[in-house]
Amino acid sequence: MGDANVVARLGSMKALLGIVAGAGASYGIYKLVFGRAGDAGVNRKKSAKSVTIQPGSLMAKVSGFKVVSKSDNLDPADTESSDILSKSAASLEPRHLSMLLSLLQSSPNPEERRKVLITLGNAAAFTVNQDLLREFGGLPIIAGFLSDPSPEIRVQTLNALNNLSMNIRNQEQLKIYVPSVMQMIEMSPVNSDLQLAALRLLTNLSVTDNHQHLMKNSITLLLSLLIVSNEVLQIQVLKVLVNISSNPDLMDDIVQAQAPAALILLFDGCTSTSVLLRLLFFVGNLHAWRPSAQVAEALRRRQDSLYCVLLDSSSQLHSKLPLLLSHPDEEVKTQVARLLT
């Protein structure tokens, strides 16, 4: 299932718009993983469809200028309009961003709101616009659409917030939405564009240790998702887990988290190299933690804890790792050797 992505570009008298949509069947992650027994910029596929801008269209409203139709006669008064329409998302002026935010709030048309979010998301890939959108009060306006009934609008909202979150000052405002994003991951169809977009946002928010603690109660959710998801989603889950596990202050919470026993099955030569490497990085971070004898004994009483599954002397991982020394990938072998020493 591909990402739901669109590139919006202001061009000379034309707007380039495209969409790839995906859908999936919804079911509960926890039920899938545990029911039988009793888891940081932007990778986008770009597509474009050329259409002539019409009066009353989104681009016409945003530009604030008259749109020239084919039947109109060009005159010097239209030069300014042509200059605006020839600009890329990186060259949008502050007033255009303000107009976009106003249109996002006022438009009753879901498709128009989706296009506005796409345009804002593209503009937010540039630092100057990240600052402007924050100063215009745009972050809570955009985040307000996390609860929109349309999955497509929620995806584009997450994409816009993801680009905005590359700005550290923006992260201070966006951190309050972490619980909502986590809930979206849990409730959305597995391997959906919604889950992928949400995890990309969490990856950015977990790059520094400023907001990692907001995700510590969702370790079990991430580990569960790691078992049932496809390779693309597994990589994104592991990016978040590697980021969080790099924080020593959170290690107690991480090792106590409930972990699916099937997690051990991923440490296998058949697992994608990209996934396996990140798993080994994650375990490497866990190995850096040294519990006291008292803490270790308490953790052993919880057989479904991450500690027992991956770290304890009884863990099957100890028999799995030596087998990976014959893996064809040199970096995998290097990481395994480090764990065994």
Decide which of 205, 226, 257 is a domain's last residue.
205
Let me know whether 191 and 322 are in one domain.
no
Between CA 251 and CA 253 the distance in angstroms is 5
List, edge to edge, every strand of the sheet that includes 14-17: 9-11, 14-17, 49-52
pLDDT of residue 133: 98
Give CA separation, 335 vs 150, 237, 317, 320, 339, in Å.
Answer: 43, 19, 14, 13, 6
Mean pLDDT of residues grouped by 10 in the chain (341 residues)?
37 31 40 48 40 48 41 39 48 90 93 93 95 98 98 98 98 98 97 98 97 97 97 99 96 95 97 98 94 86 94 95 97 97 88
| Domain presence at residue 268 | yes
CATH assignment at residue 52: 1.25.10
Question: Structure pTM?
Answer: 0.77
Residue span of the structural domain in which 100 resides: 1-38+40-205
- 110, 257: one domain: no
Residue 210 lies in a domain: no
- Are residues 264 and 127 part of one domain? no
For residues 188 and 235, membership in a common domain is answered with no
**C-alpha–C-alpha distance, residues 201 and 220, integer Å:** 18
Q: Which of 170, 205, 240 is the last residue of a domain?
A: 205
Q: How many CB atoms lie within 10 A of CB 91?
A: 14
* Domain shared by 2 and 148, yes or no: yes
Q: How much is the pLDDT for 89?
A: 77
Residues 242 and 293 in one domain: yes
Does 49 fall in a domain? yes
Is 46 inside any structural domain? yes
| 212 occurs within a structural domain | no
* Same-domain status, 87 and 159: yes
Q: Do 286 and 338 sit in the same domain of this protein? A: yes
* 3-class DSSP assignment, residue 283: helix
Nearest to 193 by CA among 308, 35, 43, 28: 43
> How many CA atoms are closer than 13 Å to the CA of 125, on its beta-carbon side?
17
Q: Answer yes or no: do 139 and 223 share one domain.
A: no
Strand, coil or helix: 314 = coil
* Chain position carrying tokens 């590359």: 166
Chain segment 197-228, per-residue pLDDT in tens? 999 999 999 999 999 999 999 999 999 999 99
C-beta of residue 33 within 8 angstroms of C-beta of residue 224: yes
Are residues 230 and 121 both part of a single domain?
no
Per-position b or e across 123-141, b if 16+ CB within 10 A of its CB: bbbbeebbebbbebebbeb
pLDDT tens per residue, range 155-179: 999 999 999 999 999 999 999 999 9
How many structural domains compose the chain? Answer: 2
Q: Does residue 211 lie in a domain region?
A: no
Boundary residue ending a domain (181, 205, 229): 205
* Closest C-alpha among 315, 285, 283, 316 to residue 300: 315
pLDDT confidence of residue 254: 96
Count other Cβ atoms within 10 Å, centred on residue 234: 24
In terms of domains, do 160 and 235 share one? Answer: no
Please check whether residue 19 lies inside any domain of the structure: yes
Q: Taking the mean position of all CA atoms in its chain, how far away is CA 34?
A: 25
- Amino acid 32: pLDDT: 52
The predicted pLDDT at position 21 comes to 32
Summarize the chain as % helix, strand, coil (round to 5). 65, 5, 35
Q: Where are the alpha helices (DSSP H) in 65-150?
A: 79-85, 94-106, 110-123, 127-135, 138-143
Alpha-carbon dihedral angle through residues 120, 123, 127, 132, given to the nearest 10 degrees: -50
Contacts of 256 (CB under 8 A, 6+ apart): 299, 302, 305, 306, 307
Do residues 78 and 19 share a domain? yes
CA dihedral over 7, 105, 2, 327, signed as positive or negative: positive
265: Cβ–Cβ under 8 A, 6 or more apart, which residues?
none
State the CATH number of the domain containing residue 279: 1.25.10.10
Closest by CA to 261, choosing from 298, 295, 312, is 312
| Residues in Cβ contact with 211 at an 8 Å cutoff, skipping those fewer than 6 apart | 171, 175, 178, 205
Please report whether residue 327 resides in a domain: yes
Q: What does the pLDDT read at residue 153?
A: 98
